Amino acid sequence: MDAQVTQTLYHYINGERVEGTSGRFGSIYNPALGEVTAQAPLASGDEVRSAIAAAKAAFPAWSEIAPARRAQVLFRFRELIVAHMDELANLLSSEHGKTLDDAKGSITRGLEVVEFACGIPQLLKGEYSENVAGGVDSFSMRQPLGVCAGITPFNFPAMVPMWMFPIAIACGNTFVLKPSEKDPSCGLRLAELFSEAGLPNGVLNVVNGDKEAVDTLLTDPDVQAISFVGSTKIGEYVYHTGCAHNKRVQALCGAKNHMVVMEDADMNQVTDAVMGAAYGSAGERCMAISVVVAVGDAAADAMMEKLVPRIESLKVGPYTDPTSEMGPVISPEAQSRIKDYIDQGVAAGATLVVDGRDIAVNGHENGCFVGATIFDHVKPDMSIYSDEIFGPVLCVVRAESYDEAVRMINDHEYGNGTAIFTRDGDAARNFAHRIKIGMVGVNVPIPVPLAFHSFGGWKRSLFGDHFIHGPEGVRFNTRMKTVTTRWPSGIRSGAVFNFKAGGEH
């Protein structure tokens, strides 16, 4: 065990903390210190199968509980999340590095999905058609699948799990969560709070692990559906492997989100939007704006004039400092990878306007910090443009026309999110119609739908047929059944329902 490790985590199976038995562990960093502070057990196939077995055993009883009673458990779970918000945020920030405000914001977005799931009695209502033929009626119902599983990324260790398991469980399924081994504590704590809210043992289980755990979930015949959020390379593997084993799969993957800035845009609004969208959470989010496409040099110059001083003054530091505006990235490996991309951008000929490679944070010299970085005059053939860097690196591309900007976005392999900033309603409407992207913002930089809509991208940003949470989440986590009925009619057969004379009956 590393000398710096202060604790060893556990799995949560059938309502209990379970020590890992595989003998393998993953390191958990405090990114602000650049030090390993804990370790997570990496589950063996047998350990994962024990969690699946617990979920399978819990399914018959849980699926038969009335949706309104399931909602009552969700309501109590919501109240516990609110009561434990500070605890959850501190757990999250200590393992991920993002500021406490950012951590609380992400938990709140996950909480909104819990609140949506509380409406499950309404969400599960089917359709009814009377007299589709003589004396024949038809109706539909949505029923749970069985054991569902979620594989979640490091960047939102509370929000993304809450995009998955509350909807699945509200629909009557049971669930096995495999959180990122880099920051699993929030997922474990959420499961404990759900149990405290009255969730029966085995309905929600959490196993820490790596590829062995993932492959077990993808191939075990008792797992009916897989939800995944992460990189495109892994997501494509999850999708094809899960489908090959007859599972329903939704895999939300990589992104390279463009923000188009027209010359008529409010540049103060643009600057505020870019600062939050490009550098919030140190750029480690799939909806981060990582490319600004300025239409015309006048728009680019006006934006850069306002934006560069803001970037240069951005306060980077640990989450324990309340004045920090941006924290570290998740690990030394991520720090090294991001710096390498900056090197590649310089070598390719992009103009490095603000360089975040050599930032120093007093008292945290070994921390995994990368300063806010911006390139100008980026070209589509550069790796910093084509690849998802997943860090605080912003690329500015200068397009000669609006049509060129649209073509550039539509030609990119990813199609997660995009935005346009303009005062021109015609341009905004045209953009929303023509752009081949799953989520579009008009003067909104990060167009993440609220919980009662659904989240998902196009192209190589999504594998599968269903977006996550919202109405699509309910459809993904249930099967439709249609029932057609005809009842013998006593009236038409001449049956008599009144008492006969003389008291005979």
Angle at 67 between CA 218 and CA 76, to 5 degrees: 90
Taking the CB of residue 301, how many other CB atoms lie within 10 A of it?
A: 12
**Residues 96, 154: contact at Cβ < 8 Å?**
yes
Please give the structure tokens belonging to residue 306.
Answer: 């306002």
Residues 152-168, mean pLDDT to the nearest whole number: 96
Q: What is the pLDDT of residues 25-55, one digit of tens each?
A: 999 999 999 999 999 999 999 999 999 999 9
Structural domains of the chain in order of their starting residue, each with its CATH number: 45-253+461-484 (3.40.605.10), 257-442 (3.40.309.10)
Strand, helix or coil at 405?
A: helix
pLDDT surpasses 90 at 501:
no
End-to-end CA distance of the chain: 85
pLDDT surpasses 70 at 154:
yes
pLDDT surpasses 50 at 392:
yes
Strand, helix or coil at 422?
A: coil
- Output the pLDDT for position 489: 77
Q: Which range has the worst mean pLDDT, 166-175, 270-279, 411-420, 493-502?
A: 493-502
- Output the pLDDT for position 303: 97
Q: Which range has the worst mean pLDDT, 17-31, 97-111, 437-451?
A: 437-451
- Output the pLDDT for position 493: 55
- Output the pLDDT for position 505: 40
Where are the strands (E) in 184-338, listed by range?
A: 204-206, 223-229, 248-252, 257-261, 289-295
**Residues 342, 352: contact at Cβ < 8 Å?**
yes
286 is catalytic: yes
Residues 123-148, mean pLDDT to the nearest whole number: 94
Residues 367-379, mean pLDDT to the nearest whole number: 97
pLDDT surpasses 70 at 411:
yes
Taking the CB of residue 282, how many other CB atoms lie within 10 A of it?
A: 32
Q: pLDDT band at 96, cuts 50/70/90? A: very high
pLDDT surpasses 50 at 504:
no
CA dist 32 and 368 (Å) reads 6
Residues 348-370, mean pLDDT to the nearest whole number: 95
Mean pLDDT, the chain, whole residue set: 94
Q: What percent of the chain has pLDDT over 70?
A: 96
Residues 283-287, mean pLDDT to the nearest whole number: 92
- Output the pLDDT for position 312: 96
Predicted TM-score (pTM) of the model is 0.92
- Output the pLDDT for position 500: 52
The active-site residue, picked from 118, 148, 186, 286, is 286
Q: What is the pLDDT of residues 469-500, one digit of tens each?
A: 899 999 999 999 999 999 987 665 555 545 45
pLDDT surpasses 60 at 323:
yes
